[in-house]
Amino acid sequence: MDDLSIIKGLAKGSKKAFEELFKKYYSLLVVFASKFVNDIDTAREIVQDTFVHFYEKRNEIKIHTSLKAHLFQSVKNRALNYIKRDSIIKNHHLQIESDLKDSILVTDDEIEVSELQQRIYQAVNSLPDRCSEIFKMSRFDGLTNNEIAESLSLSKRTVETQISKALRIIREKLHDYSAIVVVGLFIVAVFFGVINKF
């Protein structure tokens, strides 16, 4: 179902439309929320609450942008409200204040980055087991090829081959992103501590 069909279905109280909405955006929104709260379980709760509220108020909510943008904005608002209430603000107070001043509204870039993070996460986890293990040790744990080889009792050449193979597969799966894939790999490296629990 496209977004317009989902909105029309929700207005009629269609459970199928709600299920389609949940299936289409849940994972993407959890990844997005986790960037703010830095906790995957809290991110899930925020997204679930957003969906429940959206369904309960489906006949009252006015969408002025797009369904996707509306959901992202709702999740961001709930995440920021959570941060304000939670003690985590003690550790991130200055940075959060700066971010809030700079950007209150969800931007297209934020949506695109979250979509890219999810695509990279799926691409990495689709790699063959050994290839995935070596790639994560290299890109996410920061180990050198020699350290990986020693840890796994492999030759350095094997490690290099597996990393090259991983990058080739990821590039093929993300070919439509072209140059920004490189940026995405660095982004997902930062957030992988959260994403890999998802």
d(CA 35, CA 84) in angstroms, rounded, equals 15
| Structure letter (DSSP) for residue 176 | G
Compute the average pLDDT of residues 150-161.
91
Instruction: Report which of 109, 14, 36 is spatially closest to residue 22, judged by C-alpha positions.
Output: 14
| Range with the largest mean pLDDT of 26-30, 112-116, 175-179, 191-195 | 26-30
pLDDT, tens digit, 9 for 90 and up, residues 44-101: 999 999 998 888 887 776 777 788 888 999 999 999 888 877 654 455 455 555 555 5
All domains of the chain, ordered by start, with CATH? 3-102 (1.10.1740.10), 108-195 (1.10.10.10)
Measure Cα distances from 73 to 50, 65, 126 in Å. 10, 10, 30
What's the distance, CA 38 to chain centroid?
11
- Mean pLDDT, the chain, integer: 77
Alpha-carbon Rg for the chain, nearest whole angstrom, is: 19
